[in-house]
Amino acid sequence: GAVVSQHPSWVICKSGTSVKIECRSLDFQATTMFWYRQFPKQSLMLMATSNEGSKATYEQGVEKDKFLINHASLTLSTLTVTSAHPEDSSFYICSAPHRVGGLLAGGNEQYFGPGTRLTVT
Amino acid sequence: AQSVSQHNHHVILSEAASLELGCNYSYGGTVNLFWYVQYPGQHLQLLLKYFSGDPLVKGIKGFEAEFIKSKFSFNLRKPSVQWSDTAEYFCAVKGGRRALTFGSGTRLQVQP
């Protein structure tokens, strides 16, 4: 099946520094990828939609200047948390849609990366 | 806009008990529905999905879900839970937008 990887799996950084998280689709191309954030004991919240060849689309309340997204190729999207603060500490998860099934009965299934745990000290 | 609500936030069951987790969605058009499981310290895994066809969907590990369009529901069921089913369960819907919208999650605790 389709695989999505993320790097790094965890990172600790000091307040004020920037951190880059990579999301790769390993065996399929993804013109769109999604970035989610999950706080402890909470659900996944969509942060932004990463679009290859165009600007990312951010959800309401997500600062685009703080969370920079670059969809560099059909298999890679990066999320850079700029000037990180302790409140940015969270679990960041990316996903990419990939069509499964036949033309009539199939649909787009989301394949999730394993997540990146960011801790800002 | 699409939304999902999961009514049970925390469920505690004994082993071999039957499980049903509620999920209701809000969206007027065609939907794709999913149930994901997240074991402690691990990433999301797809349990099952509904795109079209038979509304009773069977997934991995003995789980199944029934899509009832008239009730906008997609409840997850398992006839007999095991201790290893202890995890967080998320219902998700894909409607008009390509991203998934997740419910708040249900924490299932199975006691041996």
Give chain A positions within 8 Å (CB) of B107.
Answer: 41
Contacts of B51 in chain A (CB under 8 A): 101, 105-107
CA distance B15 to B85: 9
pLDDT of A102: 55
Amino acid letter, residue B88 = E
Residues on chain A touching B49 (C-beta within 8 angstroms): 107, 109
Q: Considering only residues 16 to 75 of chain A, which have any Cβ-Cβ distance to chain B shorter than 8 Å? A: 32, 34, 41-46, 49
Sequence-distant (6+) residues with CB within 8 A of B70 are none
A107 interfaces chain B, CB cutoff of 8 Å: yes
In whole angstroms, give the CA distance from residue A33 to residue A49.
6
Model confidence band, residue B85 (pLDDT cutoffs 50, 70, 90): very high
Structure confidence at residue B30 (pLDDT): 86
B63 close to A (CB below 8 A): no
Cβ atoms of B73 and B11 within 8 Å: the answer is no
Q: Which pLDDT does position A106 carry in this prediction?
A: 59
Q: To which residue do tokens 């920079």 refer?
A: A68
- pLDDT score recorded for residue B73: 96
Predicted pLDDT of residue A33:
95
Nearest to A43 among B46, B98, B102 (CB): B102
CB-CB neighbors (< 8 A) of A34 in chain B: 98-100
Residues of chain A with pLDDT under 50: none
pLDDT digits 0-9 by tens, B22-52: 999 998 888 899 999 999 878 788 999 999 8
Whole-number pLDDT of residue A40: 81
- In this predicted structure, what is the pLDDT of residue B102? 94
Question: What single letter denotes the amino acid at residue A67?
Answer: F
A78-113 per-position pLDDT tens digit: 999 999 999 999 999 999 988 766 555 556 788 899
Give me the pLDDT at residue B41, please.
79
Q: Whole-angstrom Cα distance, residue B99 to residue B34?
A: 12
Q: How far are the Cα atoms of A66, A83, A91, A97, A105 from residue A17, in angstroms, in the given order? A: 11, 5, 17, 31, 47
Q: What count of CB pairs under 8 Å joins A to B?
A: 51
How large is the average pLDDT for residues B86-93?
96
Whole-angstrom distance, CA of residue B83 vs CA of residue B66: 23
Nearest to B32 among A34, A107, A114 (CB): A107
Peptide bond between residue A86 and the one before it cis (omega within 30 degrees of 0): no
Are B88 and B38 spatial neighbours (Cβ–Cβ below 8 Å)? yes
Please name the residues in contact with B107: beta carbons below 8 A apart, sequence gap of 6 or more. Answer: A41, B9, B10, B11, B87, B88, B89
